[in-house]
Amino acid sequence: MILHPLTLISIVIWVSSIALLSANLVALTGLMMVSALLCLFNGRIPLKSLFRLLPVLLIVFILQILFRRGGSMIWSYGWFRITSEGLVMGAQVVFRLSIIYLSAGLLIKLQFNDFRNAFALIRLPEELSFMVCFVIHFIPLLTHRFKDTVILLRYRGLDIRHGSWMRKIKIYRIIALSVLTGLLHNVHYQAIALELRGFRSPGHKTARYRTDLVLLDWLVITLLILLGGLVGYLSR
């Protein structure tokens, strides 16, 4: 890994924060390109990643159009109206969700030791590193378990792709609840295993592998601070 885990976390926080604070579509487009490059850096294909998020983005975009009535009227049909403010707000929200989703993908490959090393440098508790690592990996793990369950049901002769929508929704709901319950049940045993290994034991904590920031990390963090100040100045 070229950059320190703390540097990667700082990049993700910086990109996500600027995306949430900025309302300029040009700036959001630039951040979108940066997030796509970060996604490529992490070995993921940006278009493939966004395709998974496409249904959510479309729903959010349509809701913004429906509930935003300000600005000039562009097109209307009965109660359905498309205004300039609705389109702008919809584009902003879609860009922000895409930026956060793509940039957060940079943290997927980080393991618990990486988060522990990063948080130890800034004197954050070890428990926080475990919670952040668990939350980041929870959704991908939930998705994989869900897909595996669907495949197992298909091997047993139950093909969810066929049938009515009500039947599909009922089956998906049962699968989602069973997978989520199984993962939460495993968390209990993971917590017991951590306690047996002295996870929250008092005293000085040692680690086998612990790295410090190098020159490249300091350059990236300094650049993020300068760019953050520049964006704040231009937004005044």
User: Tens digit of pLDDT per residue, the chain (236 long)?
Assistant: 578 888 888 888 888 888 888 878 888 888 888 888 877 776 666 667 677 777 778 888 888 777 776 667 777 666 667 777 778 888 888 888 888 888 877 787 788 788 888 888 888 777 777 777 777 777 677 777 777 877 877 777 777 767 677 777 777 777 777 877 777 777 766 766 666 666 666 666 666 666 778 888 889 889 888 887 877 666 66
DSSP code of 75?
A: E
Specify the residue for token string 């097109």: 75
Q: What residue ranges do the domains of the chain occupy?
A: 1-110+209-236, 125-205
Which helix (H) or strand (E) segment holds residue 83: the answer is strand 80-83
Q: What one-character-per-residue DSSP string does 54-68 give?
A: HHHHHHHHHHHHHH-
- Other Cβ atoms less than 10 A from the Cβ of 212: the count is 9
Judge if pTM exceeds 0.85.
no
